[in-house]
Structure 1
Amino acid sequence: MNTRFAVATHILAYLAHSQGQPVSSEVLASSVGTHPVVVRRLMGNLREAGLVQSQRGAGGGTILARPAAEISLLDVFRAAQAGETDLFSVGSTNPNENCNLGRVMQDTLEGVLGNAITAMRAALAAVTVEQVMAELSERLAGQCPEHSG
């Protein structure tokens, strides 16, 4: 299962929470529960998409490139997928053109799944990283103090 979208959303939420203070890939990896190399690779995609900026040197790290209210989850999804923008990867298949079923399968799946893909994109476009932060804050506020860290 591809976790890049979930990890990218986690990273951006953490950066939004840090309020402009640079965060290292090691700190982000610790929060996400993965290796810093995974975070750094994904950070390259987020940087190319204009969602984050890196600062080098002592006290350096990564910050959001624009306000969390201006980053939709669709932006995050597109950056995290890095060239795999087809949710179900129907276009990536190579069915046998000499097979009656194979010849029409790709068009059939694209037709059947088209509405789902459109709905998913609309749903992601309607939610910002700032809204994710608000939801996180709400959930954290409902926890006992010893579980809020």
Structure 2
Amino acid sequence: MSLSSRTAVAIHALTMLARRDDHSLTSAEIADSLSSNPVLVRRILGSLRDAGLVWSAEGRGGGWSLARDPREITLHDAYAAVEAGPILSRHPHPPSRDCEVGRHIQSLLEVEFQEAERAMEERLGRTTIAHLRRQVVERERDLGLTNR
């Protein structure tokens, strides 16, 4: 199973915006950091905007900025803004009712999957963008690469 990379892209973008809190960033600048396409980044930023996490200004000097304090944005907020549906895939087709496993597996897995998803949501809810920003600054300082 492979989960979408949208959450990682969203968290990366939010952390960049928090790090550069003194000015907005363009989608191209964020895409450069991601080694990605600005169109993909704009789509993700659009979802973050719809969730009230970022805002944008058009024209010269425009770009993207955080709409909330980074201490108020959790990784779960980013996840919820860009992902749809359950984290863990369910059976694409109902299993056979003639099989002893098939008769029960969906309801058994549903309980396990819901518990795992709640645990992930709770864990992501404990980490804020401000926390990641602080870790980036500390790691840059440890490498002697920061001037801020």
TM-score normalised according to structure 1 size: 0.87
Which runs of at least 4 in structure 1 moved beyond 4 Å after TM superposition? none
Q: In 2, Cα distance between the equivalents of 1:99 and 1:57?
A: 63
Gaps of 5+ in 1: none
Letter of the 1:66 partner, please give it.
R
Structure showing the higher helix proportion among its residues = 1
In the TM superposition, 1:129-144 aligns within 5 A as 129-144=129-144
Q: Secondary structure at the match of 2:55?
A: strand
Q: In 2, Cα distance between the equivalents of 1:99 and 1:62?
A: 55
Q: In 2, Cα distance between the equivalents of 1:123 and 1:21?
A: 30
Q: CA deviation at 1:21?
A: 1.3
Letter of the 1:18 partner, please give it.
R
Q: CA deviation at 1:26?
A: 0.4
Q: Please say if residues 15 and 62 of structure 1, whose CA atoms lie closer than 8 Å, have aligned partners that are also in contact.
A: yes
Q: In 2, Cα distance between the equivalents of 1:60 and 1:15?
A: 13
Q: Secondary structure at the match of 2:64?
A: strand
In the TM superposition, 1:49-128 aligns within 5 A as 49-81=51-83, 83-84=84-85, 86-90=86-90, 93-96=92-95, 98-100=97-99, 101-128=101-128
Q: What is the total number of aligned residue pairs between the two structures?
A: 144
Q: Secondary structure at the match of 1:57?
A: coil
Q: In 1, Cα distance between the equivalents of 2:117 and 2:70?
A: 24
Deviations 1:21-57 (A, max 9, x none): 1110000000111111110111111111111101011
Change (3 A) 1:99 1:13: farther
